[in-house]
Amino acid sequence: MTALLEVKDLSIRFGGVVAADGISLAVQEGENLAIIGPNGAGKTTFLNICTGYLSPAGGTVHFEGRDITRLAPRKITKLGIARAFQIPQLFLEQTVTENMLLAITARRGAWSAVRPLGDAAAREEAMMILGQLKVADHADRRADELPEGTRKLVDIAIALALGPRLLLMDEPTSGVASSEKFAVMDVLVAALAARGVASVFVEHDMDMVTRYANRVAVWNGGRIQKDGTPQDVLSDPEVRRTVIGH
């Protein structure tokens, strides 16, 4: 079976830091892959490369069998990969609803210079996704007024609205109130499963990893230290020592 996302021999360095050194990794359909590892190890860089923001020095990235290594973010998004960011990237001067409608319009390709942004169906869809992530109350607020946790959720909502087949998230619940984290992730992972969307998420919170990932990869010093089920990886003494710290 062709992997959904296949990364081969990826390497990139910044100045003296090796962010990736011959990394190979595959993500299958239906997987929720968590990437864990020390700070600055290159996890976000990996997401940047997969989505075309950076070009690797060597190696390839394939999505559904297609080489996307040198494609721009715009093209990769249209092929079916959506991204949520470590620092939420929103259209700050516009409302949450407008942010969502732009994503939905982009997905449909319904660009017009005349008809207003978002018809009834689009608005309904936007509200549904916002509701699932429990941020529907903020729909009419400007994005730059939102608290950090809400911004993160809206960022994810925008990614979902693009209807991707693979969702890449960078610390999805950081900034979200701890009382809300499980509730949100429950809904998110269920929504992804229902739509058949695979996910890769960078995570520091091991509770999130144990509960929501069905696979874990440890990224350390530009190499994959270990790759397996959460139980295997998190009980590995090397991993516990270098990454988790106990």
Q: Which of 106, 127, 191, 206 binds another protein (CB under 8 A)?
A: 106
User: Shortest approach of another protein to residue 157 CB, angstroms?
Assistant: 12
Q: How far is CA 117 from CA 110, 113, 128, in A?
A: 9, 9, 17
Q: Strand (E) positions, 28-140?
A: 32-36, 58-63, 66-67, 81-84
How many helices and strands, by DSSP H and E, does the chain display? 9, 10
- According to the binding rule CB under 8 A, does residue 220 interact with another protein? no
Q: How far is CA 228 from CA 23, 46, 194, in A?
A: 15, 18, 24
Q: Which of 65, 116, 196, 245 binds another protein (CB under 8 A)?
A: 116
- Pair of tokens at residue 87: 């620092």
User: Shortest approach of another protein to residue 26 CB, angstroms?
Assistant: 23
Q: Which of 17, 57, 110, 121 binds another protein (CB under 8 A)?
A: 110
- According to the binding rule CB under 8 A, does residue 169 interact with another protein? no
Question: For residues 44 and 225, which CB has a smaller minimum distance to another protein in the complex?
Answer: 44
User: Shortest approach of another protein to residue 151 CB, angstroms?
Assistant: 12
In what helix (H) or strand (E) does residue 166 lie, and over which residues does it extend?
Answer: strand 166-170
Which of these segments, 16-24, 84-92, 185-193, 231-239, binds another protein (CB under 8 A)?
A: 84-92
Please give the residues from 40 up to 69 whose contact with another protein meets the rule CB under 8 A: 44, 48, 51, 53
Using a 10 angstrom Cβ sphere, with 0-12 exposed, 13-18 middle and 19 or more buried, the burial of residue 106 is middle
Q: What single-letter DSSP state applies at residue 16?
A: T
> Which residues of the shown chain bind another protein in the complex (CB under 8 A)?
44, 48, 51, 53, 72-75, 77-78, 82-83, 85-87, 89-94, 98, 101-103, 105-107, 110-118, 141-142, 144-145, 158, 162
